[in-house]
């Protein structure tokens, strides 16, 4: 552990603490050996079983156009379940764990075990076959399991934990008792972290003996990040041995002795939903500063404007329903677009509009993704992405170094690229994109302002990256800047010209339909802050 230690976090149990002052550019901890991990069953054919390289990650699929480098996955001829990006990964996995589980997977074919069972089964077989390093078994089995809470809550969750424990006991023929196995499933349920792509798309779950000591805060000071390695020409999802699978990065400077915290849940949700989530899934009540502040604001709103408070609860309900529907096909994209657009519109038209208010951030983000579907309305996706970048980002993230904020900006730049005539990575045969670019112009953003904003967002995002530890994204931004195709002189003319800047801002207000007053209040402070920051880089 680099500059961090496990310590007593009072009523929260153990926690992680900084042993020195930590600047934002530091990497706090890295690992490329996750203690327990499994890829979701639905993603098994898309990601390497050993290094989690992706063959078709959902978000990035379109990202690098022709340059995207797929990892070609070959299926294990024994079990036909695990897929590997190369011989090296296959050999490593065979030695580490696959030798023992492969036989079990083969016997069960065509049934594929759920990810939780594969995760615990693999760990158990490593233990039973003497393949775990000293202390790892006790490090994991001594973690808070909340088994009594889960048993008391009962229901389908408890039933499924018991069934999974029984099945694992039977398949493994282990000497470890059933109760310990059940505890392991509870530990994974309560402490498991999401294994994801760099863009945050979930692909599995993992447990790491150090990271699982991090306690929760809705305004955490660290983030768990899965880097995407790049070279000059495209993404390389494959990780070489010297590179980490997971990194722990600071979101702001952290003082010596401060506790490291991260958000276990979607922190943009309303405080009442966050508390429900934390109580149901993690069995505690959050008392962080953000919860105290948000609860005060909610209480005040209920007493001063009960109609609005009620209205907001209805919007949250509506967005939650659609986001839930979108998780499981068959779903209708167009009806979700209609419902989410209507919530976004009414929220924006409210006099007390605050872009941080749940469900606005979640609705705009989902709408952006839905509009990108099949490139059907990239122009609308651009508008959503811009709202997310200019209005929502500054309002919900207490720090610019959130990987989500940076990767959202990188995504937005790619949406710009799709609509930019002068940037031509794709054969421009799609007349829909040409028509959509025209629609952006008709809505008020001229070609010059379009280019100005594309460049401006690129430069500002690059500045965030230079100040943070998200170094793997530098190459992506460098390439992006080149692709905008401006020489140094033209670059300064665009970004530093007051006239172009004033015009660009005016046109952006028109595109996003934001009044000047709202722009000055909600967008201006952040624009000023990033400009100051850029000057410091
Ligand atoms: C991943 S573990 C964190 C490490 C844990 N404190 C330990 O001692 O092993 C998650 C559990 O820690 C406790 N916890 C985490 N954050 C907390 C918080 N902000 N307040 C109270 N309890 C918390 C809860 O019991 C939660 O289920």
User: Which whole number is the average pLDDT over 435-462?
Assistant: 92
Q: Give distance in angstroms: CA of 216 to centre of ligand 1.
A: 7
Burial class of 442 by CB neighbour count within 10 A (0 to 12, 13 to 18, 19+): exposed
Distance of alpha carbon 68 from alpha carbon 476, whole angstroms: 12
Give the pLDDT confidence score for residue 492 in this predicted structure: 75
Domain end marker among 196, 228, 262: 262
Q: Is residue 311 part of a domain?
A: yes
Q: How many domains does one find in the chain?
A: 2
Same domain? For 238 and 324 the reply is: no
Residues 258 and 352 grouped into a single domain: no
pLDDT in the model for residue 485: 73
CA distance 192 to 502: 48
- pLDDT, mean over the chain: 89
Q: How far apart are CA 247 and CA 244, in angstroms?
A: 6
**pLDDT-based confidence at residue 62 (cuts at 50, 70, 90):** very low
For the Cβ of 257 lying below 6 angstroms from any atom of ligand 1, the answer is no
Q: What is the pLDDT of residues 469-496, one digit of tens each?
A: 998 888 778 777 777 776 667 777 777 7
Last residue of a domain, one of 211, 228, 262: 262
- For a substitution probing ligand 1, which of 5, 8, 11, 12 has the most ligand atoms within 8 Å of its CB? 12
Write down the pLDDT at residue 1.
61
Q: From the CA of 213, give the closest atom in ligand 1.
A: 4
Task: Assign 220 a pLDDT band (cuts: 50, 70, 90).
Answer: very high
How remote is the CA of residue 13 from the centroid of ligand 1, in Å? Answer: 6
Mean pLDDT across the stretch 48-65?
62
User: Residue 433 — very low, low, confident or very high, per pLDDT cuts 50/70/90?
Assistant: confident
Is it the case that residue 258 has pLDDT exceeding 90? yes
**Cα–Cα distance measured from residue 419 to residue 422, given in angstroms and rounded to the nearest whole number:** 9
- Under a CB-based contact definition with an 8 Å cutoff, are residues 23 and 166 in contact? no
Q: Are 477 and 458 in contact (CB under 8 A)?
A: yes
Q: Is residue 270 assigned to a domain?
A: no
**pLDDT for residue 432:** 86
Interface pTM, i.e. ipTM = 1.00
Q: What is the mean pLDDT of residues 228-248?
A: 70
CA dist 33 and 207 (Å) reads 10
Residues 186, 43 within the same domain:
yes
| Per-residue confidence band for 136, with pLDDT thresholds at 50, 70 and 90 | very high
Share of the chain above pLDDT 70, in %: 91
Residue 139 belongs to a domain: yes
Q: Indicate whether residue 283 lines ligand 1 (CB < 6 A).
A: yes
Averaged pLDDT, 20-32:
93
SS3 at position 85: coil
Q: Strands across the sheet with 222-225, in order?
A: 29-31, 246-250, 222-225
Q: Are residues 44 and 174 in the same domain?
A: yes
Query: What's CA 356's distance to the chain center, in Å?
Result: 18
- State whether 379 and 241 are in the same domain: no
Q: Range of 92's domain?
A: 4-262
213 CB less than 6 Å from ligand 1? yes
């Amino acid at each position: 552990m680099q500059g961090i230690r496990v310590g007593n976090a009072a009523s929260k149990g153990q926690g992680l603490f900084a042993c020195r002052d930590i600047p934002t550019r530091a990497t706090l901890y890295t690992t490329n050996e996750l203690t327990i991990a499994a890829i979701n069953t639905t993603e098994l054919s898309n990601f390497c079983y050993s290094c989690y390289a992706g063959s078709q990650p959902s978000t990035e699929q379109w990202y690098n156009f022709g340059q995207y480098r797929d990892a070609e996955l070959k299926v294990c001829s024994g079990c036909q379940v695990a897929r590997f990006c190369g011989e090296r990964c296959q050999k490593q996995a065979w030695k580490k764990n696959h030798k023992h589980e492969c036989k079990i997977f083969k016997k069960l074919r065509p049934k594929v075990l759920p990810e939780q069972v594969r995760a615990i089964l693999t760990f158990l077989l490593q233990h039973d076959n003497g393949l775990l390093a000293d202390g790892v078994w006790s490090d994991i089995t001594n973690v808070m399991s909340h088994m009594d809470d889960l048993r008391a809550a009962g229901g389908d969750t408890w039933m499924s934990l018991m069934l999974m424990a029984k099945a694992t006991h039977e398949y493994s023929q282990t000497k470890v008792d059933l109760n310990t196995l059940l505890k392991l499933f509870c530990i994974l349920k309560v402490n498991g972290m999401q294994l994801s792509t760099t863009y945050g798309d979930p692909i599995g779950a993992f447990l790491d003996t150090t990271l699982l000591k991090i306690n929760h805060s809705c305004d955490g000071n660290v983030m768990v990040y899965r880097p995407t390695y790049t070279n000059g020409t495209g993404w390389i999802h494959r990780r070489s041995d010297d590179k980490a699978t997971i990194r722990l990065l600071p979101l702001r400077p952290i003082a010596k002795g401060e506790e490291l915290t991260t958000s276990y849940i979607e922190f943009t949700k309303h405080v009442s939903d966050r508390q429900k989530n934390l109580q149901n899934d993690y069995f505690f009540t959050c008392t962080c500063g953000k919860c105290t502040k948000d609860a005060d604001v909610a209480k005040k709103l209920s007493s001063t404007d009960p109609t609005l408070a009620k209205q907001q609860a209805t919007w949250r309900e509506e967005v939650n329903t659609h986001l839930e529907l979108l998780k499981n096909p068959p779903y209708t994209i167009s009806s979700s677009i209609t419902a989410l657009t209507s919530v976004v519109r009414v929220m924006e038209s409210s006099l007390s509009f605050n872009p941080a208010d749940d469900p606005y951030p979640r609705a705009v983000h989902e709408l952006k993704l839905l509009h990108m579907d099949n490139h059907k309305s990239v122009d609308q996706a651009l508008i959503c992405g811009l709202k997310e970048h200019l209005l929502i980002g500054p309002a919900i993230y207490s720090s610019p170094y959130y990987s989500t904020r940076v990767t959202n900006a990188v995504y937005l730049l790619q949406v710009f690229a799709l609509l930019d005539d002068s940037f031509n990575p794709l054969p421009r045969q799609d007349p829909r994109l040409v028509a959509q670019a025209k629609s952006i112009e008709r809505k008020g953003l001229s070609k010059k302002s379009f280019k100005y904003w594309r460049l401006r967002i690129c430069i500002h995002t690059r500045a965030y990256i230079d100040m943070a530890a998200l170094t793997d994204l530098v190459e992506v931004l460098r390439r992006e800047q080149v692709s905008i195709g401006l020489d140094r002189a033209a670059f300064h003319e665009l970004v530093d010209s007051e006239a172009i800047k004033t015009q660009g801002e005016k046109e952006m207000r028109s595109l996003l339909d934001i009044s000047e007053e709202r722009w000055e209040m909600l967008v201006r402070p952040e624009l000023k802050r990033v400009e100051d920051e850029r000057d410091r880089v």
